[in-house]
Amino acid sequence: MPDWIKSHAASQQFAILLFEGFSNHCLANTVEPLRAANTLSRKELYHWRFLTLDGAAVGSSSGLRVAPHDRLRGSSGDLLIVMPSYGFVRHGGWRTQAALRAASHRFCAVAGLDTGSWLLAEAGLLDGYRATIHWEELMRFAERFPEVATERARFVIDGSRITCSGAMAAFDMVMHMIRRNHGAALALEVAQLFMTSDSARSDAGTARAGGALVNRALALMQETLETPLTVAEIARRCGASQKRLENAMSTDLGASPRTIYRRLRLNLARKLASETELPVAEIAMRSGYDNASAMTRAFRTEFGTTPRMLRQSGIEML
């Protein structure tokens, strides 16, 4: 069962190693969920830097130029993300292999995104590990690197080695990390910001049995924030018993439907307090509370502050 809230995880330092022809889509799907997690939590949970092998700027497959913060040599941190994407074969060779092998000793974990798995495998960094790659390259990868236990999966996490099959899977992988490190509540909030719910529940790219039921319940909760339903009514509208819904949400998200529903309503209250000038009484009504005092008490319990204090701090959620 996942943790609903984890508030004591340390900030993590990520380095993203870009190569000429990298995918904008893959990069955005990696960085944007991290940025959203920082913003929504109002903490620097993740810090990232862009690197290249030699410190020179590189261009994406669509022509976007990125000037890196530094070169790979000498850089260290919690996770090195290798992101070549297109033209990955020509980025191999002994210089890249040596640089990656050296870097693997300075980072706690190493990840290959899209076709980055190929460069890691060439450097011997996936020997004995389970791994995946972009599925168009899966058969060739398995034949070229028999020392690697190749899997057809969206992403694979095997100890200190992480591999991912493509840009969309990169989003799922990062959402999985957010959920693992900081709890399902934050992951759900980030997922809803990007208008997806499955990624808040992702577990190595595999679907859970109760996933469809949980998604239906979450959608219904979102539609009825101002006029909350009972948990029994939500279950009935979803075609399930209350007990089944409670078990499914607890398994997938680590909290009861009541707790999750309250968090969604308070997320709305926080957004309105941060981004509008609505009176607190109006915010309470729009988030399903009969009076402002009840909403303020719940808000303080959930977020450690009040709507008025949040507004006075001048922090916008996005």
CATH of residue 299's domain is: 1.10.10.60
Shared domain for 170 and 103, answered yes or no, is yes
DSSP letter assigned to residue 197: S
Residue 37 in domain:
yes
Tracing tokens 């009514």 back to the chain, one arrives at: 233
Shared domain for 142 and 289, answered yes or no, is no
Residue 190 in domain:
no
Shared domain for 131 and 24, answered yes or no, is yes
- End-of-domain residue from the set 177, 200, 225: 177
- Reported as a pLDDT band with limits 50, 70 and 90, residue 5 is confident
What is residue 31's three-state secondary structure?
helix
Shared domain for 139 and 17, answered yes or no, is yes
Domain that holds residue 312: 208-318
Shared domain for 159 and 249, answered yes or no, is no
At position 246, the amino acid (one-letter code) is E
Residue 72 in domain:
yes
Provide the domain count of the chain. Answer: 2
Count CA atoms closer than 13 A to 306's CA, side-chain side: 11
Average pLDDT over residues 36-49: 95
Length of the chain equals 318
State yes or no: pLDDT of 204 exceeds 50. no
- Reported as a pLDDT band with limits 50, 70 and 90, residue 306 is very high
Shared domain for 130 and 80, answered yes or no, is yes
User: How much of the chain exceeds pLDDT 90, in percent?
Assistant: 88
Shared domain for 289 and 214, answered yes or no, is yes
| pLDDT for the residue numbered 195 | 84
- Reported as a pLDDT band with limits 50, 70 and 90, residue 208 is low
Distance CA 184, CA 174 (A): 13
Give the residue from 157, 175, 165 showing the smallest Cα distance to 36.
175
Residue 96 in domain:
yes
Shared domain for 151 and 294, answered yes or no, is no
| pLDDT for the residue numbered 316 | 58
For all residues of the chain together, what is the average pLDDT? Answer: 93
| pLDDT for the residue numbered 206 | 46
Its pTM stands at 0.90
Residue 249 in domain:
yes
pLDDT digits (tens, 9 = 90+) for 246-301: 999 999 999 999 999 999 999 999 999 999 999 999 999 999 999 999 999 999 99
Shared domain for 27 and 106, answered yes or no, is yes
- Reported as a pLDDT band with limits 50, 70 and 90, residue 198 is low
| pLDDT for the residue numbered 151 | 98
State yes or no: pLDDT of 74 exceeds 70. yes
Residue 77 in domain:
yes
State yes or no: pLDDT of 200 exceeds 60. no
State yes or no: pLDDT of 132 exceeds 50. yes
Which is more confidently placed, 182 or 6? 182
pLDDT digits (tens, 9 = 90+) for 10-34: 899 999 999 999 999 999 999 999 9
Shared domain for 99 and 160, answered yes or no, is yes
| pLDDT for the residue numbered 210 | 72
Residue 17, judged by CB atoms within 10 A of its CB (0-12, 13-18, 19+), counts as: buried
Distance CA 184, CA 188 (A): 6
DSSP letter assigned to residue 255: S
State yes or no: pLDDT of 101 exceeds 80. yes
At position 86, the amino acid (one-letter code) is Y
Shared domain for 234 and 308, answered yes or no, is yes
Contacts of 175 (CB under 8 A, 6+ apart): 33, 187, 190, 191, 199, 200, 202
- End-of-domain residue from the set 154, 177, 200: 177
What is residue 163's three-state secondary structure?
strand
Shared domain for 32 and 124, answered yes or no, is yes
pLDDT digits (tens, 9 = 90+) for 147-164: 999 999 999 999 999 999
- Reported as a pLDDT band with limits 50, 70 and 90, residue 60 is very high
Residue 126 in domain:
yes
| pLDDT for the residue numbered 315 | 60
Distance CA 149, CA 98 (A): 22
Q: Cα–Cα distances in Å, from 141 out to 83, 93, 101, 229, 309? A: 16, 16, 19, 51, 55
Residue 296 in domain:
yes
- End-of-domain residue from the set 159, 177, 195: 177
Residue 134, judged by CB atoms within 10 A of its CB (0-12, 13-18, 19+), counts as: buried
CATH number of the domain enclosing 101: 3.40.50.880
